[in-house]
Structure 1
Amino acid sequence: MIELGISTFGETTPLEGTGETFSHGERIRQLVTEIELADQVGLDVYGIGEHHREDFAVSAPEIVLAAGAVNTKHIRLTSAVTVLSSADPVRVYQQYATIDALSNGRAEIMAGRGSFIESFPLFGYDLNDYEQLFDEKLAMLLETSKATNLDWQGQLTQTVYKKDVYPRAVQDQLPIWVATGGNVESTIKIAQKGLPIVYAIIGGNPLYFKRLIDAYHQVAENEGHDQKKMKVGAHSWGFIAKNQADAVAKYFYPTKKTVDNIAKGRPHWQEMTYEQYEQSIGPDGAMIVGDPNHVARKIIALIENLGLDRFMLHLPLGSMPHEEVLEAIRLYGEEVAPRVRAYFAEKG
């Protein structure tokens, strides 16, 4: 069964027209409303990313997810991502086990290395240890998740000698997905561990990821992992409005604001032009923007071409009036998701 959901970073960029910016507090409260609505309209999963910069409101997704757990009944709640390299794996487990309790078994962790690196100096980590930190902390998180009693010899992490970790998750095993931007080595490592994977498909032609996904399944098979457990997810930027032209027009400004902000600190990024935007929302582009019919068709094609088990629409990128975001969530749950599910149910 295909899982459909939303990811967000709680963006706080200036709004088009007014130039006003949501405060971090206001945006965080909005996110709780968005989680509750996503649950009401029947979406499967809601994910919140961790950042430590002015243009994103959420540095502690687990707290927002915990707030969202209280008044929801069905939707799964995940980080998107937890920057595990600069976090304590034991504490991460405890936090998501607590969300699991509040939601009665709907919590997940999506671990990542950290495309944004502000957390490393903030918490005293050396970027020279970037890969080693993630590998060791992921191994420690998996060990913590396996059993109550933790016996762990750390190198870049603490050493824990036979100490119990509480609370335990309501689920027998707290789901742990690993996110990647499309790095081949990361794909191989995730497959070797037998963990579900999530690709951030935010630029270029999404079909590029097909060879990575094929490699992921092949490596997992060679390692003897159960293919039924080798789930593949993806997230892509996008927006939905009742009218195709309105969706395209409204989404450019907030997306450009966010991309331009990121480009300031990344030499391989550049400020977005409208021509680049048009290409990105086109048939071969990674963005999924339009009316419900268009969005459903593009999501179906992405899922089918890549063999996805889960798709998360990053909605929106950059700040938009909250009523427009809520309307997009309604359209996603009430019009897009039923079309996508019906298509794959018919295919069997």
Structure 2
Amino acid sequence: MSTTTPTPASTEVAFPLTFGLDTFGDVTSDADGHPISHAQTIRNLVDHGVAAEKAGIDSFNIGEHHTNDMPLSASDVVLSAIAARTERIRLGSAVTVLSSDDPVRVFQRYSTLNAISNGRAEVILGRGSSIDSFPLFGFDLADYQDLFEEKTNLFAELLEGGPVTWEGRTRASLHDQDVVPHLETALPTWIGVGGSPESVIRAARYGFSLMLAVIGGPATRFAPYAGLFREALSQFGHTPKPIGLHSPGHVAATDEQALDEFWPRYLEVITNVSETRGFAIPTKASFLREVRDGALYVGSPETVATKIAANMTTVGANRFDLKYAMGGLSDEALLTNIRLFGGEVVPRVRELLA
């Protein structure tokens, strides 16, 4: 497999290149192909975070989900367990569904994680492309937009520090309220965007960083969003902020092995969520097109590194997060993925982008 390197996008500020691993806590399989328990899934994730640091990866991020196949309803608790066993790696959400949560509690949980990890926490806020948390916590989908807008506004106020006075429609007001624990170091905050220009503008308005979730189609279509973000930051009077790409994939020793391991799991997962998420059930041909030209990073270290470097250049991104877990894969395959991504893919991308 090959990837053509496009013309670079212009960037005003050269941020350091960073590379992360994202997971939604997908339930994996044992040696006999049977799903493991939720408890073992969570214990394995702690080991994955430790393995990611050993592999030299910059960040490890767990996205909030509330389903039987993705039982990560308390990501910050798992990240705290990883923090206790690591020293360097950054630990974040990918994403926190702020619309169905309380901004004060999200701030308190991640400021606590920031204290435990000695300043290594970060948070990615999202509206929730998976809406399972809305009925669970009693929120009306008709308020989808208003919930995120108001709660993002309050979260931005909390990050400023000091007593907070805030008024809105979606939660109780705050009047000169001291919210603890206080931040000792900054809590980097991102907005996760799946393709909405309004969300890009929102991230810029609050001066947050931008994480582009590219889960289908070519990354090139997100380059205009990056340009819009940089322009909007300037218009709002903010300094430049990092831009990241998040996409699913799987790294193995060879292209053939990676495809053979990933394709049946990918087909099963997408088929299971196709009705609720509106996804088309993939064919083998459409899958291979996504690997070649679209959002899937599946292959050997060289194949995956070449594609990452090309798409980071196209978009003008300085961060790339691989969503490395796919339900049904074995824990051994995921640990190999982590080792190859950190030990071979990331160094090769740095070399290609030097």
Please give the TM-score of this superposition, normalised by the length of structure 1: 0.94
Kept in 1, the 8 Å contact 2:29–2:331? The answer is: no
Residue aligning to 2:334: 325
Pair 217,185 (structure 1): closer, same or farther in 2 beyond 3 Å = same
* Alpha-carbon separation, structure 1, partners of 2:258 and 2:183: 40
Match of 2:205 among 188, 192, 203: 192
Residue aligning to 1:110: 124
Match of 1:181 among 194, 197, 204: 194
Give yes or no for the alignment of 1:274 onto 2:284: yes
Opposite residue 4 of structure 1, the aligned amino acid is F
* Alpha-carbon separation, structure 1, partners of 2:299 and 2:203: 33
* Alpha-carbon separation, structure 1, partners of 2:231 and 2:323: 28
After TM superposition, give the deviation of residue 13 of structure 1 in Å: 6.0
Match of 1:239 among 219, 233, 250: 250
* Alpha-carbon separation, structure 1, partners of 2:33 and 2:331: 15
After TM superposition, give the deviation of residue 19 of structure 1 in Å: 4.3
Match of 1:306 among 315, 319, 323: 315
Residue aligning to 1:5: 20
After TM superposition, give the deviation of residue 58 of structure 1 in Å: 0.4
Give yes or no for the alignment of 1:80 onto 2:94: yes
Residue aligning to 2:35: 21
Kept in 1, the 8 Å contact 2:108–2:180? The answer is: yes
Residue aligning to 1:142: 156
Q: For 2:169, what is the secondary structure of its paired residue?
A: coil
Identity %: 39
Kept in 1, the 8 Å contact 2:25–2:45? The answer is: yes
Correspondences of 1:221-236 after superposition (within 5 Å): 221-227=234-240, 230-236=241-247
Q: For 1:265, what is the secondary structure of its paired residue?
A: helix
Opposite residue 202 of structure 2, the aligned amino acid is K
Residue aligning to 2:220: 207
Opposite residue 318 of structure 2, the aligned amino acid is D
* Alpha-carbon separation, structure 1, partners of 2:312 and 2:340: 19
After TM superposition, give the deviation of residue 57 of structure 1 in Å: 1.9
Opposite residue 276 of structure 1, the aligned amino acid is S
Give yes or no for the alignment of 1:297 onto 2:312: no
Q: For 1:136, what is the secondary structure of its paired residue?
A: helix
Q: For 1:264, what is the secondary structure of its paired residue?
A: helix
Instruction: Write out per-residue CA displacement over residues 5-47 of structure 1, whole angstroms, 9 at most, x where no aligned residue.
Output: 10000112667x9441121111111100000010111100111
After TM superposition, give the deviation of residue 89 of structure 1 in Å: 0.5
* Alpha-carbon separation, structure 2, partners of 1:239 and 1:46: 16
Kept in 2, the 8 Å contact 1:148–1:166? The answer is: no
* Alpha-carbon separation, structure 2, partners of 1:215 and 1:270: 29
* Alpha-carbon separation, structure 1, partners of 2:38 and 2:114: 25
Q: Which structure's relative contact order is higher, taking Cα pairs within 8 Å and 6+ residues apart?
A: 2
Opposite residue 21 of structure 2, the aligned amino acid is I
After TM superposition, give the deviation of residue 157 of structure 1 in Å: 1.4
After TM superposition, give the deviation of residue 287 of structure 1 in Å: 0.5
* Alpha-carbon separation, structure 1, partners of 2:310 and 2:340: 19
* Alpha-carbon separation, structure 1, partners of 2:224 and 2:159: 31
Give yes or no for the alignment of 1:216 onto 2:225: no
Residue aligning to 2:11: none
Kept in 1, the 8 Å contact 2:258–2:299? The answer is: yes
Across the two proteins, how many residue pairs are aligned to each other? 339
Opposite residue 258 of structure 2, the aligned amino acid is A
After TM superposition, give the deviation of residue 264 of structure 1 in Å: 2.3
Correspondences of 1:90-101 after superposition (within 5 Å): 90-101=104-115
Residue aligning to 2:145: 131
Instruction: Write out per-residue CA displacement over residues 218-256 of structure 1, whole angstroms, 9 at most, x where no aligned residue.
Output: 1222222212xx211111110111111101111101111
Please give the TM-score of this superposition, normalised by the length of structure 2: 0.93
After TM superposition, give the deviation of residue 202 of structure 1 in Å: 0.9
Correspondences of 1:246-265 after superposition (within 5 Å): 246-265=257-276
Kept in 1, the 8 Å contact 2:29–2:330? The answer is: no
